[in-house]
Amino acid sequence: MNISREEAEKIFEEQSAYVYRLALFLTKSRTLSEDIMQDTFIQVFQVYPQYDSTRPIQPWIYKITLNTVRKTLRKRHWTTLWNRQHKNESLEEIS
């Protein structure tokens, strides 16, 4: 069961503000929240065939949003650490 364009648009229209507010609350960053919202809906539409339509959609999207926030923050943390280490290595080579 694939999602139709009309159904995807309806879900996005109904849930995008909720996803954005949740991401903003968790990250305190508007730019990052917009990225997370996009990533969340990509994931929602990819796994939509697994969604149990007898249940409310918002808790399902909430969980996907939380997982997307966690993944994004984890990636940013490791990227920051990697960049710091490379910067320190470069400074040691110059010395």
Across the range 17-23, mean pLDDT stands at 98
The answer to whether 20 and 33 are in contact (CB under 8 A) is yes
DSSP three-state, residue 5:
helix
> Which of 22 and 95 is assigned the larger pLDDT?
22
Chain centroid offset of residue 84 CA: 24
> What tokens were used for 81?
């650490």
- Tell the residue number behind the tokens 């409310």, with chain if given: 56
What are the extents of the domains in the chain? 5-94
> Which of 63 and 90 is assigned the larger pLDDT?
63
Q: For 56-76, how does the pLDDT look when each residue is reduced to its tens digit (9 = 90+)? A: 999 999 999 999 999 999 988
- 10 Å CB burial of residue 78 (0-12, 13-18, 19+) is exposed
Across the range 9-18, mean pLDDT stands at 98
Predicted model pTM: 0.80
Angstrom distances, CA of residue 54 to CA of 10, 60, 70? 17, 12, 27
pLDDT at 93: 57
Tell which CATH classification among 3.40.50.460, 2.40.10.120, 1.10.1740.10, 3.40.50.150 matches the domain 5-94: 1.10.1740.10
